Amino acid sequence: MMIVLMGMSGLGYAQFGSQSKGSSDKTSMSVEKVKIEGELRALPEMGSATKDRPAYVLKVLRATSAEGRELESLRGTMLRLGNSEQSRRLVRLIRPGEKVIVKGHLHQEEKTLEVMSFKKARQPESRGSGTRIRGSGTK
């Protein structure tokens, strides 16, 4: 009887291994390389590890895949920033409300963005008001 149980446990192990392999393929398919132009937002109501600091998210204004295809379904969504060194750096250097361009990996089920690199989005250049200030020129 013991031999039968040992034989069945080996069969169960083989089945478990094949199921495990199939499920890991599904999770790897849900990660996509993206380039996102968005606005950094601080959401205190989402909470975080400490109550005095807000949770940071990126509101998507424009998203493209690594192949350059537009990802219209992401426009307007809020993506949580993953817990990585680049994400923490982004939060330190970019103020909430500022626009930023982020390259990273999007975890679609979790709506989480792992930041690989980022830069401030280019703001339209100001041409000034056109008024001259008295006394600013040389005589």
Q: What pLDDT was estimated at residue 131?
A: 60
CA gap 70, 82 in Å, rounded: 22
- The whole-number pLDDT of residue 6 equals 47
pLDDT (0 to 100) of residue 76: 95
Question: Do 40 and 98 meet the contact criterion of CB atoms below 8 Å apart?
Answer: yes
* Domain 29-120 listed as CATH 2.40.50: yes
Q: What is the pLDDT of residue 4?
A: 47
| pLDDT score at 54 | 79
Question: Residues 1-41: pLDDT tens digits?
Answer: 445 444 444 444 443 333 434 444 444 458 999 999 999 99
Determine the pLDDT at residue 44. 77
String of DSSP letters for 40-58: EEEEGGG--SSTTS-EEEE
**Residue ranges of the chain whose pLDDT lies below 50:** 1-2, 4-28
Domain boundaries, the chain: 29-120
Q: Give pLDDT, residue 77.
A: 95
The model's pTM is: 0.64
